[in-house]
Amino acid sequence: MATLCKNCNHALIYDPGKKMMLCVACGSTFAAEQVESEAKKYRENERLLKHSEVYGEETEKAKEEFLECYVYTCSECGGEIVIHGTEVSTHCVYCGNPTVVFSRVTKEKKPNFILPFSVTRETALNNIRYKIGTSIFVPKAVRNFQPDDVLGIYLPFWLVNANYYETCVVRSEVGSGKSKETRYWGRTGNIEIKDLPVDGCSMLSDESSMRLEPFPLKSMKNFDEDYLLGFYSNASDINYNEMYQAVESRAKEHFEESVLKNVEGSSRTIDRETHQTSIKDAYKYAMFPVWFVTFTYKGKHNTILVNGRTGKVVCGLPWRKGLFAAMTLGIGSLVALMSYFLFYGILSICLQTSPDSAGEKLGSFILAVFVLAILGLFSAGIRKMSRVLKQISRTQSSETFNFVKKRKE
């Protein structure tokens, strides 16, 4: 169902640049709170019909294609819109008008807040090109990519208040050589969590949504479905247990990371622990804006995410692994060569000032420092490569690509 312009009766959309409802036909603008569809009161309790209820029993192939699909009638042209199980807003494939499925925004499921888009489509693309444009490791074809799709999608989030308690025993190695010993450290404490955003969409990985943070919660507005017009959106499809596990996992990770930094020694690990998470009842339902930009490179689909409020870009892109390896090897070799000559220069000075064994020991110590520095350089390169490959796997995730693809079907 569309909200129509008061002046020309054309469908309105929300314009992130103007932060107003815009009529593309006559150019009129309105605050979202000033407009409301006349048909809303007649259609917000309308029942969605399953695909099989409209078209009858189908072949197995059709059942697979339209799994969890529903049929909704466009209020403007009467066309039948096929939507997926959790979609709240979409576009009519016949007349192109933005459509909000009000039966999905019932009083029971209605979000408390919405964070409207403020980053435009053009700004999102510019942010992506700026981020990847200066990297020498990203192939030229990727830096000059042409997007297949650019979709603005509101994602459902739960804002949770909770308390996390943990008592743990940390094991670490203290000292070196023959004096090295294993020690155990007891730690206990709690974390008070306020307005932790938990991704309410099961089709996206929690890791991807977390990397989009932070979302400026102070900029949230009371939910108004008109902000959805012109964008796609999803309703939450996770249950309480899934929300609880997400909160507990994030709190546990943060607590134990802080504990390990607070303990002396090396090889620090959590040896034993007990924990408890208590979620307060006052959790809130909100919708946050995200741009999804897809492109194809060497036959693989890539999806870049952009925070629709801050413009933060989340991606891991194809890169020139050979160039990275060659540069790491070249820099490492150069450092090793310089270290070799520097070592012998310092060693000769040490032997001149202290020709006994003390000079040799000092020279050996310096050599050890150089060797450790070179090994550290190669280790940092390997860690960097591992992180990039992990980010690329998220960018090329078939789940994320299919999530965007379904919005266009």
Domain boundaries, the chain: 12-104, 121-222+232-315, 321-395
- Collapsed DSSP state (helix, strand, coil) of residue 211: helix
Chain centre distance of CA 57: 39
Q: What's the helix, strand, coil split of the chain in %, to 5?
A: 40, 30, 30
Confidence label for 221 from pLDDT (cuts 50, 70 and 90) = very high
The letter for the amino acid at 386 is S
Asked whether the whole model's pTM tops 0.85, one would answer no
Q: Is 195 left (phi over 0), alpha (psi -120 to 50) or beta?
A: left
> Residue 288 — pLDDT band, cuts 50, 70, 90?
very high
> Residue 164 in 3-state DSSP?
strand
Q: How confident is the model at residue 234 (pLDDT cuts 50, 70, 90)?
A: confident
pLDDT for 405 equals 64
Question: Is residue 348 very low, low, confident or very high in pLDDT (cuts 50, 70, 90)?
Answer: low
Per-residue confidence at 145, pLDDT binned at 50, 70, 90? confident
Q: How far apart are the first and last CA of the chain?
A: 18
Higher pLDDT among residues 151 and 315, named by residue: 151
Please check the confidence at residue 117 and state whether its pLDDT lies above 90.
yes
Q: Kindly tell me if the per-residue pLDDT of 357 is higher than 70.
A: no
Q: Is the pLDDT of residue 162 over 90?
A: yes
pLDDT value, residue 54: 38
pLDDT of residue 182: 92
Phi, psi of 285 (to 5 degrees): -105, 125
pLDDT of 109 > 80? The answer is: no
* 311 conformational bin, left if phi > 0, alpha if psi -120 to 50, beta if neither: left
Residue 204 has pLDDT above 90, yes or no: no
